[in-house]
Amino acid sequence: MLPYTLYGSSRVTIKGEILMFGSLNLFEKFMPHGVCYQWRADILWLNVISDTVIAFAYFFIPSALIYFLRKKGEVPFTGVIYMFCVFIFACGLTHVLSIFTVWTGQYALQGTVKALTALASAATAIMLYPVMPKLLALRSPKELEETNVSLQEQIEQRKTSEAQSIKLQGDLARLGRITTVGQMATGLAHELNQPLLAISACADTAVLRAKKTSSDAVLFDCLDDIQAETQRAGAIIRALRQFISNKSSAWSAVDLNDLVEQAVRLMSGEARNADVQIVVNNGKVQVVTADNVQIAQVLVNLIRNAIEAISEVTDGQGSTQNVITITTGCDGEMVVVEVRDTGPGIAPGIDPFAAFETNKVDGLGVGLSISRDIIEAHGGKLAFKRLSGEGVGFIFSLPKRLPENLANAPVQ
Amino acid sequence: MSEEYPIVFLVDDDPSILKTLSRALEEHGLQVRPFKSAREFLDGYDGQHGCLILDLSLPEMDGLELQTELTVRSIAIPIIFITGHGGVSESVQAIRAGAIDFLEKPFLPETLLLRINEALEVDRGDRAQKRKDDAIRDRFHKMTDREREVFRLLIEGDSIPSSKVIAKSLGISHRTVEHHRGRILEKALCGSVPELRALAKEVSFVVG
């Protein structure tokens, strides 16, 4: 190998008619490149090893890219990436050829490989040009992550508002029922007030007449009761109508123990007829601001429900189990009243508050639904619990201090 | 007519209310005349004294409309409204227009009786006043045309005009005015001009 000289090599090159491309012999051998390194081991291996590493890297990169493309499936700009692979692979080949020519001077072969690489790289560059704006438009992983987070938030919001809208639909349906009941009640109020006035007038006349002929105390007591009950019916209708027209009626300081006592007195007749005993456990309660007629209505409602529930089991047969227990007390910021019965309880799956939904044979479930509306209008809650033994406890609470929005409501 | 027994007029379209309430009020010694519509009342009412118990909601002409109609016709019978609806705005309107009260059915009969007594008291007062007014008016009506002219000038204005001022504005002599003034005070049964002015004010004499 040593006999080749630099001069000789150029001569040989000219002799090899390098400019005559047509007759180019790819495998024509020239002076190996090692000669240029003067076969100095350090320079030679520095180049050879570097080229080797570069070549391996250049072969590995496209393989990795292709592996990535295959695995990932949908990746944008696949064409460009494949082109890039070809270009890098070709670059790797040129480095292989650089190693090869250190010992074997087949420069035509090397040049050809370089020419192919040039084509591939030029093509890649050209392809890259129109793709660039699109590449720039691609979101960075960080941006994508942010988008993801905000999408998650939106989904959460959607879910929340969906839940709200479902609740609202429920409220609306309930409101619809209330409106219907309200219209009925308004109509009924007028229709009932007429006969009530007539009854009241009759009772009055009867008292005057009876005074002329009788001194029967019970008779007068009866007539007085007729008058008082007629007026009470009128008061209930008035309160109901005011409640339905959403106006507060007479809000005043109310002692719930007093109201319970009144309600129990009102219901004592019904309770006696059904052979039900009413037990009252008066706890310490604070005076609350409320419409006493409305709260009395709720109490009467709950007691009546309890009596009806109990008579459903016993069917008039007296037993020691026929007890309604009314307990008053405080729970934090609320005054609480519980009405427990020893009835059959509420069948699972039945919502006792759903208007007109009732499991009682002859009941009309409006009472409970209106009761709850009354309590809620006072800023309180009406709930029920199925007792471990038999029966149900209905519990309502009223705030000791009237909430701002209610306190500020125009009271007339 | 003024010594007639007062009549409680009851207007309600519900026959059972008419029947039972009339009976109850009669039992309390009142004379009651029931009507089932505003129109029937207008046709049947003939200036008798008493009071009117008026249902708010009536077919055709309702209670408030009847109240207006009575005002238009200068019928000053005291009204107690009764209603099964309990409209706040209506009650305000009715009271503003001079109603005695606005009762929501079913009210206690004794509450109604109290209001009726109140209304009859008002009516009696109104009528006594009217009688008094009429008597005063009668006195004024006895005046001659010239006297009436002088009288008008005497009661007009913030201060009593002198005879000279009146004489000048009527183009008559000062002495004639003084003569007329004497006759006017005589006919009106008044001792002085200030008394005459007070009397005229009391009956809100419309100077025609």
Only one residue has tokens 């190996």, namely: A32
Residues of A in contact with B114 (CB under 8 A): none
Same domain, residue pair A233 and A268: no
Quick check: is A145 in a domain?
A: no
Q: Per DSSP, what are the bridge partners of residue B8?
A: B32, B51
pLDDT value at position A385?
A: 86
Tell me the per-residue pLDDT of B83-93, one tens digit each, with 9 for 90 and over.
Answer: 887 666 778 88
Query: Chain A to chain B, count of Cβ pairs less than 8 Å apart?
Result: 71
Torsion of CA A297, A300, A302, A303, to 10 degrees: 170
Identity of the residue in A189, A197, A208 whose CB atom sits nearest the CB atom of B17: A197
Neighbours of B88 (CB within 10 A): 11
What are the DSSP calls for B62-100, one per residue? Answer: -HHHHHHHHHHTT----EEEEESS--HHHHHHHHHTT-S
B23 → closest Cβ in A195, A205, A233 = A205
Say yes or no: A232 contacts chain B, CB-CB below 8 A.
no
The 10s digit of each residue's pLDDT in A250-282 is 677 888 888 888 788 777 777 888 888 899 998
Mutate to test the interface with A, among B105, B112, B116 (most CBs of A within 10 A): B105
Question: Can you tell me the distance from the alpha carbon of B137 to that of B207, in angstroms, rounded to the nearest whole number?
Answer: 11
The DSSP element (H or E) to which A158 belongs, if any, is helix A141-213
B106 min Cα distance to partner chain A (Å): 4
Does residue A405 lie in a domain region?
yes
Classify A27 as helix, strand or coil. coil
A17, pLDDT greater than 50: no
Cα–Cα distance measured from residue B70 to residue B41, given in angstroms and rounded to the nearest whole number: 11
Specify the DSSP element, H or E, that contains A325: strand A323-331
Residue A381 — φ and ψ, nearest 5°? -135, 145
Q: Does A200 touch chain B (CB under 8 A)?
A: yes
Domains of chain B: 7-129 (3.40.50.2300), 142-202 (1.10.10.10)
Q: Where does residue A335 rank: exposed (0-12), middle (13-18), buried (19+ CB within 10 A)?
A: buried
Strands (E), chain B: 7-11, 31-35, 50-55, 79-83, 101-104
**pLDDT tens readout for residues A98-131:** 999 999 989 999 999 999 999 998 988 888 888 8
| Integer Cα distance of A305 and A393 in angstroms | 11
A305 touches chain B (CB under 8 A): no
A228 touches chain B (CB under 8 A): no
pLDDT of res. A248: 47
Cα gap B17→A199, rounded to integer Å: 9
Same domain, A288 and A185: no
Residue B1 pLDDT class (50, 70, 90 cuts) = very low
Q: What dihedral angle (degrees, nearest 10) is formed by the CA atoms of A56, A60, A61, A63?
A: 150
pLDDT-derived band at A153, boundaries 50, 70, 90: very high
Looking at the predicted structure, is the pLDDT value of residue A5 above 50?
A: no
Q: Do A241 and B86 touch (CB under 8 A)?
A: yes
Residues of B in Cβ contact (< 8 Å) with A198: 14, 16-17, 19-21
Which is more confidently placed, A315 or A36?
A36
Alpha-carbon gap, residue B195 to B201, rounded angstroms? 10
Reply yes or no on whether the pLDDT at A9 is more than 70.
no
Q: Are residues A64 and A119 in the same domain?
A: yes
Does the beta-carbon distance from B106 to A200 stay under 8 Å? Answer: yes
Structure token pair of residue A387: 């007792």
Nearest CA to CA, how far is A296 from chain B (Å)?
A: 20
Rg (CA), chain B: 23
Q: Are A345 and A390 in contact (CB under 8 A)?
A: yes
The span from the CA of A197 to the CA of A230, in Å, is 8
The DSSP symbol for A248 reads: B
- Domain end: A138, A172, A193, which one? A138
Question: Final residue of a domain: which of A220, A246, A272?
Answer: A246
Cβ density class A57-77: b for 16+ within 10 Å, e for less: ebbebbeebeeeeeeeeeeee
Q: Which residues pair with A9 in a beta bridge?
A: none
Q: Which of B47, B27, B44, B26 is nearest to B35 (CA)?
A: B44
Instruction: Report how far residue B167's alpha carbon sits from residue B189's, in angstroms, rounded to the nearest whole number.
Output: 23
Residue A205 belongs to domain spanning: 162-246
Where does the pLDDT of residue B79 fall: very low under 50, low under 70, confident under 90, or very high at 90 and above?
A: very high
Chain A residues touching B86 at Cβ < 8 A? 238, 241
Interchain contact, B24 vs A202, CB within 8 Å:
yes
Chain A interface mutation, best of B20, B89, B112, highest count of A Cβ atoms under 10 Å? B20
As a whole-number percent, the residues of chain A with pLDDT over 90 amount to 28
Assess whether pLDDT exceeds 80 at residue A376.
Answer: yes
Residues A274 and A408 in one domain: yes
In chain A, the number of structural domains is 3
Same-domain check for residues A192 and A94: no
Question: Which CATH number does the domain housing residue A170 bear?
Answer: 1.10.287
Query: ipTM higher than 0.90?
Result: no
**Which of A201, A209, A227 is nearest residue B21 as measured by Cβ atoms?**
A201
- Final residue before a domain boundary, out of A200, A228, A246: A246
- The whole-angstrom separation of Cα A216 and Cα B124 is 39
Q: Identify the three-state secondary structure at position A396.
A: strand
Structure-model confidence comparison of residues B35 and A245, the more confident one: B35
Between B85, B106, B109, which is nearest A196 by CB? B106
**Quick check: is A153 in a domain?**
no
Could you give the CA distance from residue B57 to residue A187 in angstroms, rounded to a whole number?
A: 13
Least Cα separation, residue A206 to chain B (angstroms): 9
**CB A262, CB A360: distance < 8 Å:** no
User: Quick one: which H or E segment has residue A101?
Assistant: helix A78-103
* A199 interaction partners in chain B (CB closer than 8 Å): 106
Q: Are residues A177 and A119 in the same domain?
A: no
- On whether both A242 and A273 belong to a single domain, the answer is no
Please report which confidence band the pLDDT of residue A362 belongs to, taking 50, 70 and 90 as the band edges. very low
Write out chain B residues lying below 8 Å of A230, CB-based: 106
Our CA-based measurement puts residue B142 at a distance from the nearest CA of chain A, in whole angstroms, of 52
Place of tokens 């027994």: B5
| Beta-carbon separation of B23 and A201 below 8 A | yes
Query: Quick check: A412 contacting B, CB < 8 Å?
Result: yes
Digit-coded pLDDT (tens) for A324-353:
999 999 888 899 999 998 888 777 777 777
The confidence score (pLDDT) of residue A242 equals: 63
Residues of A within 8 A of B87 (CB-CB) are: none
Mean pLDDT on B134-145: 80
Comparing A243 with B202, the larger pLDDT belongs to B202
A140 touches chain B (CB under 8 A): no
The whole-angstrom distance between B14's CA and the closest CA on chain A is 8
CA–CA separation, B116 vs B52, rounded Å? 9
